[in-house]
């Protein structure tokens, strides 16, 4: 597994990793036999690795019990690898991470897997990518999402605010009377797809923040604002959701009594 930050996954980079693996024994050149000697063909299976056993009318193929399926017998094994033809070793590899990878993606390193038995060529190594959670952004496909706190005065009056992107801060124009939960889309500020090359968007969700730790004067101003909105029809004008909600509640209880 290769663990990356969101920034590393989005931009791509080269990473060095240390991998424990089996490599061909250099002393015996991967044969498993002591230098100067060679494995001999198994006399039981004649190099096939399997033998045929008859049970009545049926013939069953089984692993050769003499050579354990290898097809060869090593009478004088190599002392360095104990006849295995492979030894344990830790390799340092450079992994080129392409821009746009995501959790679950695999990077293939051809020929960097474990050496095969008795001198067979090595296989491939697959590096599984895991992207750590980010403090600000959440990724879904090629899009990035973030929550942006907004004061209720700025939400009511509108204006420009700064929002973060992976490339730095940008200006976002907030329309007047913005409600909590509203989404603003910044096109092209998401992630470039590792497969298609298309670039996603950054989607900012506005969360209206209720002010805290108010001074006496600030509380007075808020009370004045509350009083200025009045009651009845004035509430419906300034706070239509609140008015609609309580109208619905009233209708609900009226229906119950009839």
* Domain membership flag for residue 58: no
Q: Are residues 121 and 12 part of one domain?
A: yes
Ordered DSSP codes for 180-194: TT-EEEETT-S-B-T
87, 113, 131 — which closes off a domain?
A: 131
Rounded average pLDDT over 182-208: 94
* Domain membership flag for residue 112: yes
89, 115, 131 — which closes off a domain?
A: 131
Confidence bin at 28 (pLDDT 50/70/90): confident
The model's pLDDT over 83-93, given as tens digits with 9 standing for 90+, comes to 888 899 898 99
Q: Are residues 125 and 101 part of one domain?
A: yes
For residue 97, pLDDT beyond 80:
yes
Angle at 244 between CA 252 and CA 211, to 5 degrees: 120
Dihedral angle computed from the Cα positions of residues 45, 46, 49 and 55, in that order, rounded to the nearest 10 degrees? -30
- The whole domain housing 188 covers 134-210
Q: Are residues 179 and 237 part of one domain?
A: no
* Domain membership flag for residue 57: no
Q: Are residues 141 and 117 part of one domain?
A: no
Q: Are residues 153 and 165 part of one domain?
A: yes
* Domain membership flag for residue 188: yes
Q: Are residues 112 and 33 part of one domain?
A: yes
The model's pLDDT over 132-191, given as tens digits with 9 standing for 90+, comes to 999 999 999 999 999 999 998 999 999 999 999 998 999 999 999 999 999 999 999 999
* Domain membership flag for residue 62: no
Q: Are residues 90 and 9 part of one domain?
A: yes
- How much is the pTM? 0.71
List strand residue ranges (DSSP E) for the chain, in order.
Answer: 2-4, 13-24, 40-41, 50-55, 58-63, 72-73, 86-97, 106-109, 125-131, 138-140, 143-151, 159-165, 168-174, 183-186, 202-209
Q: Are residues 83 and 12 part of one domain?
A: yes
Q: Are residues 115 and 14 part of one domain?
A: yes
* Domain membership flag for residue 22: yes
Q: Are residues 121 and 6 part of one domain?
A: yes
* Domain membership flag for residue 83: yes
CATH at 181:
2.60.260.20
Q: Are residues 258 and 151 part of one domain?
A: no
For residue 74, pLDDT beyond 80:
yes
**pLDDT of 117:** 75
Q: Are residues 127 and 95 part of one domain?
A: yes
Nearest partner of 145 among 204, 71, 73, judged by Cα: 204
Nearest partner of 16 among 77, 69, 95, 73, judged by Cα: 95
The model's pLDDT over 220-251, given as tens digits with 9 standing for 90+, comes to 999 998 888 776 666 666 666 765 665 666 66
Structural domain count of the chain: 3
210, 225, 249 — which closes off a domain?
A: 210
**Cα separation values, 58 from 61, 176, 215, Å:** 10, 84, 93
What is the distance between the alpha carbons of residues 152 and 143, in angstroms, rounded to a whole number?
27
């Amino acid at each position: 597994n290769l663990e990356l930050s969101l920034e590393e996954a989005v931009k791509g980079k080269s990473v060095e990793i240390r991998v424990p693996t089996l490599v061909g024994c250099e002393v015996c050149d991967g044969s498993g036999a002591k230098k100067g000697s060679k494995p001999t063909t198994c006399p039981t299976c004649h190099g096939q690795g399997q033998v045929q056993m008859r049970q009545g009318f049926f013939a069953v193929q089984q692993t050769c019990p003499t050579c354990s399926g290898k097809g060869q017998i090593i009478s004088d094994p190599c002392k360095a690898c104990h006849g295995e033809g492979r030894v344990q070793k830790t390799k340092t590899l450079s992994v080129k991470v392409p821009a746009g990878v995501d959790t679950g993606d695999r990077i293939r390193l051809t020929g960097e897997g474990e050496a095969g038995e008795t001198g067979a060529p090595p296989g491939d190594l697959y590096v599984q990518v895991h992207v750590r959670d980010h403090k600000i952004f959440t990724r879904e496909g090629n899009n990035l999402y973030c929550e942006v706190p907004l004061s209720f005065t700025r939400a009511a009056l509108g204006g420009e605010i700064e929002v973060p992107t992976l490339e730095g801060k940008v200006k976002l124009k907030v329309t007047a009377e913005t409600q909590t939960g509203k989404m603003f889309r910044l096109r092209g500020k998401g992630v470039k797809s590792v497969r298609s090359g298309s670039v996603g968007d950054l989607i900012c969700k506005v969360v209206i923040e209720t002010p805290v730790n108010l001074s006496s004067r600030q509380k007075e101003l808020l009370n004045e604002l509350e009083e200025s909105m009045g009651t009845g029809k004035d509430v419906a004008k300034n706070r239509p959701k609140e008015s609609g909600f309580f109208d619905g509640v009233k209708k609900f209880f009226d229906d119950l009594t009839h």
